[in-house]
Amino acid sequence: MTKGTLFLIPVPLAENAALKSFTPFLGDTINAISTYIVENEKTARKFLKEAGLKKPQSDLVIHDYGKHKREHSLVPFFKELMTGTDVGLMSEAGCPGIADPGSDIVREAHKRGIKVVPLVGPSSILLALMGSGFNGQSFTFHGYLPIDKTERAKRIKELEQLSQKNRQTQLFIETPFRNNHLFEDILKNSTAQTLLCVACNLTGEDEYLKTMSVGQWRQERIDLHKKPTIFLLYKEN
């Protein structure tokens, strides 16, 4: 039996960013499929509507891959794919599989011999790297740094040294309500010459993206509380 195709469908990063986020091909794709695996059903339905879904939402089959469902078997998510039906995978925001639990679904699809098609769309990590002015040839995304202040300070210094040694951009994030604490810790534990880029609420109406030395940032006051933010460190020799 022919298997279906798993389409990886990006979701806007911010409110009112639909026009910046959706390609015509994405619109065609969502109107050709009716089954989805999503991280959050409410936001998924909202973004499908914004992307130009023409069919009634009552016709959709939506599998919830939220955090309470991830400990269970993946088999139910593949029922349609294994019987020839195309399925869309959607993250909560941004690109499926990038700093996102949907990578488990993609890995399982490969194991089952299912074709995977990633669609073009916004990734906050890549947009931040593009806008930073830092090395785009060599970079590492570390996800979340330790919550413990001592461990986090140690990690920031390690990343700074790693950047200088390898001429490599270091990217990381924090839970939005702890952004200001992380920002202050970066300023305390990095040398004044180290470059820091702060990329906040990318593609949003209040988008903020700025690169300066840590020494310059120490003279600046910004509020990142509850705003999705990417931090990028780069230390030149």
Give the pLDDT confidence of 98-107 residue by residue, as tens digits.
988 899 999 9
Encode burial over 36-51: b for 16+ CB neighbours within 10 A, e otherwise. Answer: bbbbbbebbbebbebb
DSSP state of 191: -
Q: For the residues 4-14, what does the mean pLDDT come to?
A: 96
The tokens describing 4, both together, are 């279906």
Distance, CA of 3 to chain centre: 28
Q: Reduce the DSSP state of residue 127 to 3 states and report it.
A: helix
CATH topology assigned to domain 124-234 = 3.30.950
Residue with tokens 């988008």: 207
Q: For the residues 106-114, what does the mean pLDDT come to?
A: 96
CATH topology assigned to domain 5-118 = Cobalt-precorrin-4 Transmethylase; domain 1 (3.40.1010)
Beta carbons of 139 and 170 less than 8 angstroms apart: yes
- Reported as type and span, the H/E element at residue 195 is strand 195-200
Strands laid side by side in the 229-234 sheet: 139-144, 169-173, 229-234, 195-200, 208-213
Q: For the residues 56-68, what does the mean pLDDT come to?
A: 87
| Percent residues over pLDDT 90 in the chain | 86
Strands laid side by side in the 115-118 sheet: 61-64, 35-38, 87-90, 5-9, 115-118
Beta carbons of 125 and 202 less than 8 angstroms apart: no
Beta carbons of 6 and 114 less than 8 angstroms apart: yes
List the domain boundaries for the chain: 5-118, 124-234
Instruction: For CA atoms 147, 152, 155, 160, give the dihedral sign.
Output: positive
